[in-house]
Structures are given as C-alpha cells and as structure tokens.
Chains A and B, each alone.
Chain A
Amino acid sequence: GAGVSQSPSNKVTEKGKDVELRCDPISGHTALYWYRQRLGQGLEFLIYFQGNSAPDKSGLPSDRFSAERTGESVSTLTIQRTQQEDSAVYLCASSLVGTSGETQYFGPGTRLLVL
C-alpha cells in the first residue's frame, strides 16, 4: 500500500516568512511523529500525535513551531518567522498504534532552506 508522503519535497523561503509542511501518514496509523534532521546529524524528535491529540510536544524547539493533525490523518507542521537555523530536513513518520518500540514508517522528508 501507499507509504508516508510529505509535501513539498523542497521548500526555499526567506528569513521571517512562515512555512507549512504537510504529512500524509499510512492509512489507519493512529500515531504520527515529526522529526528534524540537520545536515550530517541524526534525527531530533519534535512532536508526537496519538489520533488528533499531541500528548508529547517536548521536542518543539520554540513557540515558533506548531503542529496539528485532523481527521486522524493529515498533519501540518508550521514554522512561523523562519530563521536560518531552521534549515533542515523535516521528517514525518507514522506507526500503527504508537506503543514504545513500535516500528515507525518514515516519509521522504521536506528539505527546508531558509535564506
């Protein structure tokens, strides 16, 4: 079946602009995760959704970052007033029920470049 998809695949923006990144998880997966990956580094956790609720937002780096999920499906990560240090690949993953240690399925990511 279809995997996790993300859009746009690439985004170039100017410092101070807002951006929205979209994630379409695997159908039927109740858990959804956002991660950030800077060049040459591992992934940093940002936020986790169980259904449409976000019980763990501990990874969001500042109040410029927010995310929502609707219909227990699509999620949007919004970065307001972007800064150059926000440049990274933003990865979305989903899993069936969201238990610890459960396999997560990742999308291809959105490459964000803030000029």
Chain B
Amino acid sequence: LAKTTQPISMDSYEGQEVNITCSHNNIATNDYITWYQQFPSQGPRFIIQGYKTKVTNEVASLFIPADRKSSTLSLPRVSLSDTAVYYCLGDTGRRALTFGSGTRLQVQP
C-alpha cells in the first residue's frame, strides 16, 4: 500500500506555474502514481498517471525521480479555473482508489 503525503493547501496567482509534491516513501515496484482533480460540488477527475521519469499531457506534467519516493504534479500557467483539490494516489493493488485529504490549490487573480 503506497501511503501518500501531500501539502494541505497552496496558494498561487494566475499565470504562474504550480508544483505540488507528493511523498510516497513505501511505494511498491508495481505501483503507479495517479493524480485526480476535484472541483467544488463535482466528482474527482483523472489528470495524469505515471510510473517513472516524466509524463506530460494537455493538462499537466508529472515528474517522478529515479527512487520513486516522491512525485511532482506541475500545472503550467494556472488560471482561476484551476482552483480545486488535487489528490495524489498510490496504487494500492486494489481496484478501489485510496484518497487522502488532497491539496487545496487556490489561484488568485
């Protein structure tokens, strides 16, 4: 079970790059790291998933160092609409997802 630890909250301004780091010290060899985003009054939405090195999609980038004990979600040039809770999930080997409390990102104008 990959227990994850991430900051409770972060503040940023529009146009800035935001990096949210998640620690997962006991990640297993077969574990993937997945990030979900949740807006108020909505269900979570998949953002990105990776195993090692760097993964990039149209929404974000995910950096995972060689030891895989942490990962960093990078959101380029955030806007007000990126204000949300971001969850870092470790693959538990179970089909159900295990959510922590997430990181509340507040983007200011």
Contact = CB atoms under 8 A, between A and B. Distances in A.
- Grouping DSSP codes into helix (H, G, I), strand (E, B) and loop, the B interface class, with mixed when no group exceeds half, is loop
Interface string A77-115: 000000000000001110100111111111111000000
B42 interface: yes
A14 interface: no
B97 interface: yes
B93 interface: yes
B43 A45 contact: no
Interface residues of B, number: 22
B65 to A, nearest CB: 20
Interface in B44-72: 44-46, 49
A93 B97 CA distance: 10
Contacts of B42: 106, 108-109
A112 to B, nearest CB: 14
A101 B97 CA distance: 8
Given A33-B96, A104-B97, A42 B45 contact: no
B81 interface: no
14 contacts: A4-B43, A40-B101, A42-B99, A43-B97, A45-B97, A48-B95, A56-B95, A56-B96, A92-B43, A100-B93, A100-B94, A101-B34, A107-B43, A109-B43
Interface of A: 4, 31, 33, 35, 40-45, 48, 50, 56, 59, 91-93, 95, 98-109
Interface of B: 32, 34, 41-46, 49, 87, 91-102
